[in-house]
Chain A
Amino acid sequence: MSEQVRERETRRLDRVVVRFAGDSGDGMQLTGEQFTSETATFGNDLSTLPDFPAEIRAPAGTPAGVSGFQLHYSDHDILTPGDAPDVLVAMNPAALKANLKDLPPGASLIVNTDAFTGGNLKKAGYATDPLTDGTLDPYMVHRVPLTSMTINAVHAAEGTGSVNKKEAERAKNMFALGLMSWLYHRPTEGTVGFLEKKFAKRPEIAAANIAAFRAGFNYGETTESFTVTYEVAPARMRSGTYRRITGNLALSYGLVAAGELTGLPLFLGSYPITPASDILHELSKHKRFGVRTFQAEDEIAGIGAALGASFGGSLGITTTSGPGVALKSETIGLAVSLELPLVIVDIQRGGPSTGLPTKTEQSDLLQAMFGRNGEAPVPIVAPRSPGDCFDAAIEAARLATKYRTPVFLLSDGYLANGSEPWLLPIRETLPDLKVTFTTEPNHTGPKGPEFWPYLRDPETLARPWAVPGTPGLEHRIGGIEKSDGQGNISYDPANHDRMVRLRAAKVAGIANDIPPLEVEDPSEQARVLVLGWGSTYGPIAAGCRRVRAKGLHVAQAHLRHLNPFPANTGEILRSYDKVLIPEMNLGQLRTLIRAEFLVDAIGYNQVRGLPFKAAELAGVLEDVINQ
């Protein structure tokens, strides 16, 4: 190694977008996660977007098998995982091929030259070598023989004697991480500790990975290839304690919190499905919280068991994605009729049918809204960011228990797997959702006190919840229409009409129990409102910022409750000249808004399996404003 200390320029940036891409077996998710962890520790604001194929091991070396992880971090608060990478790490030709189109000219590119063999080029579909044919001319290319340097570093290190060549080669992702950590001035202690812990049972593998990581870092220090390194100062964020969290983890914690806040044991009935399974995995760990998880034989049994548990006084939960919701529809209708609490978590993915299991979409809104036989209204809550999944889960449980109704919680693949820093909530600020069961008769009949299971609370229209084991309140409920109040089977036409309207009024009445729709319009001069729901909050807000920075005026409102809408929604929509609704579907919210408020909203719709980009939305907004 050179003794000479070179003077290198350190450039200060306000934000950076980094993308790691490699074969799905190359450990790119782990590499991205660890770089993110270093970044969080450093105090930047950040947002991540993992992007991986549905196949566990697609054919190695092909573009179909490429797995990517993008991180956007900054010295100020940010809202999206970034539009285009400033730097791309490509571990093989397929990764280069699949990602190069996203890389703007002038961006940095780190390529593992060892992987650019004839065979790999062919598998990636390259006729000529992009390293030499001029393809990469527009970029700042750093050619790094990552694999061979990793193997050399591992074999030169102490404590790696028993590590074979294949195992040594597998540490190349840590070489890449080390190099990137050096280039972007990331703290490294956390990664060393992480590797020691992860491979505690195989110290030689830990040593190999740490050797590769350090070698990558030192390579940056010594090579001539990099003349500039980059710094992004910590972000000025609200004071408090933070952790990094993904949407699915925040949602799981929200459900555990809901159990504690309602005082009800949690029962999750679920069937594995991408991208919802992580919630089942997470909740299955928390037995000490009294959480019961049941991996059912199918989607229908998952929700059935959850509803059965709700009948018994648990907080019944089922987690799934769009195809699973389709299977659960009949049971959701039963829950509407039984008027029992139930939270249905739908982590939306690309559809129809199997669609794009690992990609994001917002196309289950109308399924959640209308996908049942009969008049079967179900409240819908949608989180706007990974961290917000915590609060949205609590809100869904609040509505379910207070109004004795199934509630949809509509997250999506982007929120589920994306992450951001999360300001930890303070226990005292969480709502008190204590549930009280009915224990006494509520009606006096000719023979004395009786229990009427459908005698409603006059304010909420919720029915009493008396659980088995309560003496004197024995009763039967079912999916057949029942008489208002008493709850006995009734085929009476007027009673059915009344019951249908009561169930609808109960859900509609929730509008008075949720916060009004808020509008962000800093200049107060906007004539265009952009309305969104769910995971598009970040890109829409980032797009609005860009437009406002150009001196244009735009107002933003974002819906958390989609059924019912906040009471002031119509009034707000009507107070703007134009309403733009960007959605990752073909206009589902727009359909609802037009039907309910007769507002001729404009749609911007993309279903590419990826979140919107801020620049893209800024362009659309400008067009609408200037039209």
Chain B
Amino acid sequence: MTVTTNHTGISNRLLDLVPAAPAQQSRKDFTSDQEVRWCPGCGDYAILATVQGFLPELGIARENIAFISGIGCSSRFPYYLQTYGMHSIHGRAPAIATGLATSRPDLSVWVVTGDGDALSIGGNHLLHALRRNVNLKILMFNNRIYGLTKGQYSPTSEVGKITKSTPFGSLDRPYNPVSLALGAEATFVGRSIDSDRAHLTSVLRAAAEHPGTAFVEIFQNCNIFNDGAFDALKDRSSRDDVTLKLAHGEPLVFGAEGDKAIRRADDGSLEVVPAGSPGVLVHDATATDPSQAFALSRLTGDTHGVTPIGIFRSVDAPTYDEALNTQISDAREKQGAGDLMSLISGGETWTID
């Protein structure tokens, strides 16, 4: 597989297939004329601003970008971007985007979804998109609640969640979206936070550069139905002590004073130890085996007092769309372009005068 570098300096053999923008683009070029209608204070505003801000940096033509969404608050996203877009039906965006990306290698295709859309009604499509490694960028806004239907618990809500549909507390255990994606052997898995623009931009840029399916979980605050779900990761006084910022090739060290680190425990899981302890792990996002990335995904605030954000995994692997399009070009090269009449008159024929 040849890895080339395009005009942005980004190394991505698939992004190279997307035409470059003729001129420098700005955030304004990516802002549609539609009034944004999320609740005031919603975390979605920050994510939209970040995406509108970083898309011009990709240097690809605006008309060759498509955003596909399902149903839910997050899925209104495409309306606010001056790109091609489709607001589809609940849970199906990965399937629709798979058809678009597979048939149009010259497009950069993005999926915007939420925890309910992606993990509940659309769980099957998400798993299979990740497994196939279609060239899609899937942004999953996780607010751990159903917003658009006004506040039922979601597949990422904590056990015991009191909501309109669970007045006695929710019973089912939540998904860990990053663990789920790694379990499906997704080739790119990242996590970021709506309010940390610089970090979110860096993860999204890496996702855009990734050839294949990139899955990014974005912690997003729903200030109406689940306000403060991620406060510990946002509060200036506490966040550095509970957030592990993953950096490829760097030791897994965190804390306001850089005083905590991660190493492998005797049972194979990961544990938090004082920095400087022997055996502190170095993060390798490119490891072919997803085991360590998975182990990292098991670190949570509840269990270990720390939540990793950043890029858990980024490995180069054949993509579904490339492979399919290669089958087509190979068939044409070997057999020539198809001829309709010789196809339909194939097999045994007889002539009547």
Chain A residues within 8 Å of B, Cβ to Cβ: 37, 40-41, 43, 190, 237-244, 253, 256-257, 260, 265, 267, 269, 286-290, 292, 294, 296-298, 300-301, 304-314, 316, 330-331, 333-334, 338, 390, 424-425, 427, 468-480, 488-489
Selected A-B contacts with CB under 8 Å, 14 pairs = A243-B347, A286-B343, A289-B337, A300-B125, A304-B96, A311-B100, A427-B341, A468-B84, A469-B64, A473-B63, A474-B63, A474-B83, A477-B85, A488-B34
Chain B count of residues within 8 A CB distance of the other chain: 61
Are B344 and A425 in touch, CB under 8 angstroms?
yes
Give the distance in Å from the alpha carbon of A301 to the alpha carbon of B107 in the complex: 20
Task: Given A334-B88, A468-B64, check contact A476 B349 (CB 8 Å).
Answer: no
B350 partner residues in chain A, CB cutoff 8 A: 40-41, 43, 241-243
Which listed residue, B89, B102, B332, B349, touches A288 by the CB 8 Å rule? Answer: B332
Interface string of B30-55 (1 = CB under 8 A from A): 00101000000000000000000000
- CB contacts under 8 Å to A, within B297-353, are 324, 327-328, 330-332, 335-338, 340-341, 343-353
Residue in chain A with minimal CB distance to B125: A301
B330 partner residues in chain A, CB cutoff 8 A: 287
Closest Cβ of chain A to B83, distance in Å, is 6
B106 at the interface (CB under 8 A from A): yes
B192 at the interface (CB under 8 A from A): no
Are A40 and B348 in touch, CB under 8 angstroms?
yes
B68 at the interface (CB under 8 A from A): yes
A338 partner residues in chain B, CB cutoff 8 A: 86
Task: Given A286-B343, A287-B331, check contact A240 B100 (CB 8 Å).
Answer: no
Which listed residue, A289, A313, A470, touches B63 by the CB 8 Å rule? Answer: A470
Which listed residue, B99, B327, B337, touches A316 by the CB 8 Å rule? Answer: B99
Are B89 and A292 in touch, CB under 8 angstroms?
no
Are B107 and A469 in touch, CB under 8 angstroms?
yes
Are B348 and A471 in touch, CB under 8 angstroms?
no
B63 partner residues in chain A, CB cutoff 8 A: 468-474
Are B103 and A265 in touch, CB under 8 angstroms?
yes
B199 at the interface (CB under 8 A from A): no
B128 at the interface (CB under 8 A from A): yes
Are B32 and A309 in touch, CB under 8 angstroms?
no
Are A297 and B99 in touch, CB under 8 angstroms?
no
Are B349 and A242 in touch, CB under 8 angstroms?
yes
B61 partner residues in chain A, CB cutoff 8 A: 469, 471
Closest Cβ of chain B to A303, distance in Å, is 8
**Seed contacts A241-B345, A241-B351; 14 additional CB < 8 Å A-B pairs:** A41-B350, A243-B344, A257-B340, A289-B343, A292-B103, A294-B98, A305-B99, A306-B99, A309-B100, A468-B64, A468-B107, A469-B63, A469-B107, A476-B85
Are B88 and A478 in touch, CB under 8 angstroms?
yes
- Give 9 closest A-B pairs by Cβ, nearest first: A478-B87, A308-B99, A305-B99, A304-B95, A289-B338, A287-B331, A308-B96, A301-B95, A476-B85
Give the distance in Å from the alpha carbon of A289 to the alpha carbon of B338 in the complex: 5
Which listed residue, A305, A469, A476, touches B79 by the CB 8 Å rule? Answer: A476
Closest Cβ of chain B to A320, distance in Å, is 15
Give the distance in Å from the alpha carbon of A330 to the alpha carbon of B78 in the complex: 20
B27 at the interface (CB under 8 A from A): no
B124 partner residues in chain A, CB cutoff 8 A: 297-298, 301
Task: Given A468-B107, A476-B79, A477-B86, check contact A256 B338 (CB 8 Å).
Answer: yes
B244 at the interface (CB under 8 A from A): no
Are B125 and A242 in touch, CB under 8 angstroms?
no
- CB contacts under 8 Å to A, within B267-322, are none
Are B344 and A424 in touch, CB under 8 angstroms?
yes
Which listed residue, B65, B107, B346, touches A312 by the CB 8 Å rule? Answer: B107
B78 partner residues in chain A, CB cutoff 8 A: 476, 478
Are A330 and B96 in touch, CB under 8 angstroms?
no
Are A238 and B352 in touch, CB under 8 angstroms?
yes
Give the distance in Å from the alpha carbon of A43 to the alpha carbon of B348 in the complex: 12
Residue in chain B with minimal CB distance to A287: B331
A288 partner residues in chain B, CB cutoff 8 A: 328, 331-332, 335-338
Give the distance in Å from the alpha carbon of A424 to the alpha carbon of B68 in the complex: 42
Are A190 and B344 in touch, CB under 8 angstroms?
no
B245 partner residues in chain A, CB cutoff 8 A: none
Are A469 and B128 in touch, CB under 8 angstroms?
no
A474 partner residues in chain B, CB cutoff 8 A: 62-63, 82-84
A267 partner residues in chain B, CB cutoff 8 A: 99, 102-103
Which listed residue, A41, A240, A479, touches B89 by the CB 8 Å rule? Answer: A479
Are B62 and A242 in touch, CB under 8 angstroms?
no
Closest Cβ of chain B to A492, distance in Å, is 15
Closest Cβ of chain A to B97, distance in Å, is 6
Which listed residue, A40, A240, A489, touches B351 by the CB 8 Å rule? Answer: A240
B260 partner residues in chain A, CB cutoff 8 A: none
B137 at the interface (CB under 8 A from A): no
Are B352 and A469 in touch, CB under 8 angstroms?
no
A43 partner residues in chain B, CB cutoff 8 A: 350, 352
Give the distance in Å from the alpha carbon of A260 to the alpha carbon of B337 in the complex: 12
B66 at the interface (CB under 8 A from A): yes
B92 partner residues in chain A, CB cutoff 8 A: 300-301, 304, 330-331
Task: Given A308-B97, A468-B107, check contact A292 B102 (CB 8 Å).
Answer: yes
Are A287 and B327 in touch, CB under 8 angstroms?
yes
Task: Given A300-B95, A311-B96, A468-B64, check contact A253 B343 (CB 8 Å).
Answer: yes
Residue in chain A with minimal CB distance to B34: A488
Are B344 and A312 in touch, CB under 8 angstroms?
no
Give the distance in Å from the alpha carbon of A477 to the alpha carbon of B83 in the complex: 11
B197 at the interface (CB under 8 A from A): no
Which listed residue, A256, A310, A479, A488, touches B343 by the CB 8 Å rule? Answer: A256
A289 partner residues in chain B, CB cutoff 8 A: 337-338, 340, 343
Give the distance in Å from the alpha carbon of A132 to the alpha carbon of B32 in the complex: 86
Residue in chain B with minimal CB distance to A286: B338
Are B328 and A287 in touch, CB under 8 angstroms?
yes
B264 at the interface (CB under 8 A from A): no
Residue in chain A with minimal CB distance to B77: A476
Which listed residue, A241, A269, A286, A313, touches B104 by the CB 8 Å rule? Answer: A313
Residue in chain B with minimal CB distance to A427: B341
Which listed residue, B66, B89, B99, B337, touches A330 by the CB 8 Å rule? Answer: B89
Task: Given A292-B102, A474-B62, A474-B84, check contact A308 B338 (CB 8 Å).
Answer: no
B347 partner residues in chain A, CB cutoff 8 A: 243-244
